[in-house]
Structure 1
Amino acid sequence: MCGIVGLFLKDPKLEGELGAMLASMLCVMTDRGPDSAGFAVYGAGGKDKVKLSLRAAKGYDFQALAAGLSIPADGLPSVTARGTHAIIEIPSPREAAVRAFLAERHPEVAIVGTGARMEIFKEVGLPSSVAETFGLATMRGTHGIGHTRMATESAVTTAGAHPFSTGADQCLVHNGSLSNHNALRRTLKREGVVIETENDSEVAAGYLTWRMREGASLGAALEAGLKDLDGFFTFVVGTENGFGVLRDPIACKPAVMAETDQYVAFGSEYRALVDLPGINRAKVFEPEPATVYFWERAQ
């Protein structure tokens, strides 16, 4: 049993409140997942820049790490440290070189996600503590997703917390269990998709990345997943400009959505949505099984 939430803003006037709204939704889901939590926020991005979401041990000196990445042509990379995580923004053409540098010289630093706009944070502990540690309530953006975990099939670790990201600006949170994730993991590894944990949810994220690499849209990748992913699941997925939801064919896990002229919101339970502005005027509905829901903002 886990809790998942998502918020996609249609109204730019609410972008400054995204983090506070998402934090409230996330914390309400504490009793569905008290052992760890995480979230992804899609905020502003620089032209021809890429953000690396990094994770290391408590007290790690991310500023010194950024200084080691500096080159005269580009100057010192932008770095924002938050607890055990940091967002480092670098020129897009340098991403491969920086990844190689970190893998060779700084194996103690994990890359949690990359993208032009996506920032990912996750940690062991109560959702309220995780949200406070990373300052979720202060963050702004266009959309975000979150997860509270109750581990049932793997250890309680930061690496096992959601969201999982295996592609640029793409991440996933999952409530449920996949029965064929080991076979899929082997297939994805042969296809060059990097899977770092034993968590079946990372396999689901990798599957979507693989499909999207082949040219499928997020909606088409989710549609294909109905045939290839065996088990029970509810997914909430984020991309650079989009937000998607999919439930398995029998809709085993609880889910509710609300839509207004200002936003689309998802929660494992309705109580996660009750503090959203204008919820009393929202169209509230249970997403249908085996049906792809997808919203996207103009680029």
Structure 2
Amino acid sequence: MCGIVGLHLRTPELYPRLGELLSGMLGEMSDRGADSAGVAVYGDPMWSPPGRGCVSVTDIEVVPDLGADVDVVQVDSSYLLSADMPSEALLERVRLSYPGALIAGFGADLAVLKGVGHPRALTDAWGLSKAQGWQGVGHTRMATESAVTPSGCHPYTVGPQQCLVHNGSFANHATIRRDLRRAGVVFDSENDTEVGARFVAQQLAAGRDVETALKELCATFDGFYTLLVSNHDSFAVVRDAIACKPAVIAETADWVAMASEYRALSELPGVESARIWEPEPEVVYAWTR
């Protein structure tokens, strides 16, 4: 049992409140997973300065020093790096200089934070309530498939500006991991969710849109799952064919949100007039900024 939350803001006037709203949503899902937590935030000007390449790093013992042209913002045990270069070029520099570091995410306008511990304590340590932006995704984890470590935390952001969180389990993840490794894909953990994330990233890199990628995932993966997938400008939700893992979506003119349970949405502004529903099995719900 894990908790998923996601918030896609349509109204710029709400951008300054993204972190505040996301913190409240994540806190409500703490009892669904108190082992660890993580968030992906799109558009915070301090964590991911606009117009710069960005890389999020964690599980590293020293403050990264990549030269005067790379800015470093420390957020608890994570480091958010930015520079006037493509994110992929900055990522390559990080990997060459710190091969043991865990890359939590990369891409323009994206900051990813992960940590082991209670979600409320982590969001306080991150100062998440002060974050800004147009989109945020969060996860609270109850570990079942792999160790409680930073590499086992969600979100999995293995493609540029991409993010995936997952409640459930993939029954055939070992087989698909082997196939992906044969294709040259490198993994950071033994977590089944990472297999789903890298599968989706491979699909997107091949030119498929997120809806097609998630339909292909549904056809390939066995198990019970609710997934939320985002990138720089989109936000998508899908459940397995039985839809046994809980999920609820709410939509207004100002925002789209999803969570594992309604209580995570109950304090969003205007929720009393929102359209609210449970996603149907294997139907991909997607929104674009």
TM range (shorter): over 0.9
Q: CA deviation at 1:56?
A: 3.2
1:41-64 CA-to-partner distances (Å, cap 9, x unmatched) read 111566663100011346x324xx
Is 1:61 paired with 2:63? Answer: yes
- State the partner residue of 2:242: 250
Is 1:87 the equivalent of 2:90?
no
Q: Structure 1: which 5+ residue stretches go unaligned?
A: none
Is residue 268 of structure 1 aligned with residue 260 of structure 2?
yes
CA shift, 1:195, in A, is 1.6
Report Cα offsets for 1:65-100 as digits up to 9, x if no partner.
1xxx22xxxx5312211011111112335744x545
- What runs of 5+ residues in structure 2 fail to find an aligned partner? none
8 Å CA contact retained: 2:102, 2:151 = no
Question: 1-side partners of 2:109 and 2:92: how far apart?
Answer: 22
Secondary structure of 1:159's counterpart equals helix
Deviation of 1:135 (Å): 1.3
Displacement of 1:102 in angstroms is 3.6
- Confirm or deny: 8 A CA contact 1:257 1:286 kept in the other structure: yes
1:31 aligns with 2:27: no
Is the contact made by 1:226 and 1:290 (CA closer than 8 Å) also made in structure 2?
Answer: yes
How far did 1:225 drift? 1.0
Query: CA–CA distance in 2 between the matches of 1:169 and 1:125?
Result: 25
Indicate whether 1:177 and 2:169 are aligned: yes
Task: Provide the rounded CA distance (Å) in 1 between the counterparts of 2:109 and 2:33.
Answer: 27
* Maintained 8 Å contact 1:147/1:173: yes
Please give the secondary structure, in 1, of the residue aligned with 2:152. Answer: coil
Name the CA distance, whole Å, in 2 between partners of 1:229 and 1:164: 17
Count matched residues.
Answer: 286
Sort the Cα spacing of 1:246 and 1:104 in 2 relative to 1 into closer, same or farther, 3 A: same
Shift of 1:199: 0.3
Q: Give the structure 2 partner of residue 49 of structure 1.
A: 52
- TM-score w.r.t. structure 1 length? 0.91
1:283 and 1:36 mapped to 2: Cα distance? 31
C-alpha RMSD over aligned residues: 1.6
Show CA shifts across 1:13-49 (max 9, x none).
Answer: 1001011100100000011001100010111566663
The one-letter amino acid paired with 2:192 is D
Runs of 4 or more, structure 1, over 6 Å off, are: none
Rounded to whole Å, the distance in 2 between the matches of 1:144 and 1:87 is 16
Partner SS, residue 185 of structure 1:
helix
Cα distance in 2 between the residues matched to 1:47 and 1:268: 31
TM-score by length of 2: 0.94
Q: Secondary structure at the match of 1:23?
A: helix
Which is further off, 5-14 or 190-199? 190-199
SS in 1 for 2:256: strand
Percent identical residues = 44
**Following the alignment from structure 2 to structure 1, what is the Cα–Cα distance between the partners of residues 232 and 186?**
20
Task: Give yes or no for contact 1:30–1:127 (8 Å, CA) kept in 2.
Answer: yes
Q: Judging changes above 3 Å, is the alpha-carbon distance between structure 1 residues 137 and 272 closer, same or farther for their aligned structure 2 residues?
A: same
Aligned AA (1:190): R
Residues 47/105 of structure 1: CA separation in 2 closer, same or farther (3 Å cut) = closer
Q: CA deviation at 1:107?
A: 3.2
Matched, 1:106 2:98: yes
Alpha-carbon distance between aligned partners in 2 of 1:265 and 1:34, rounded to the nearest angstrom? 22
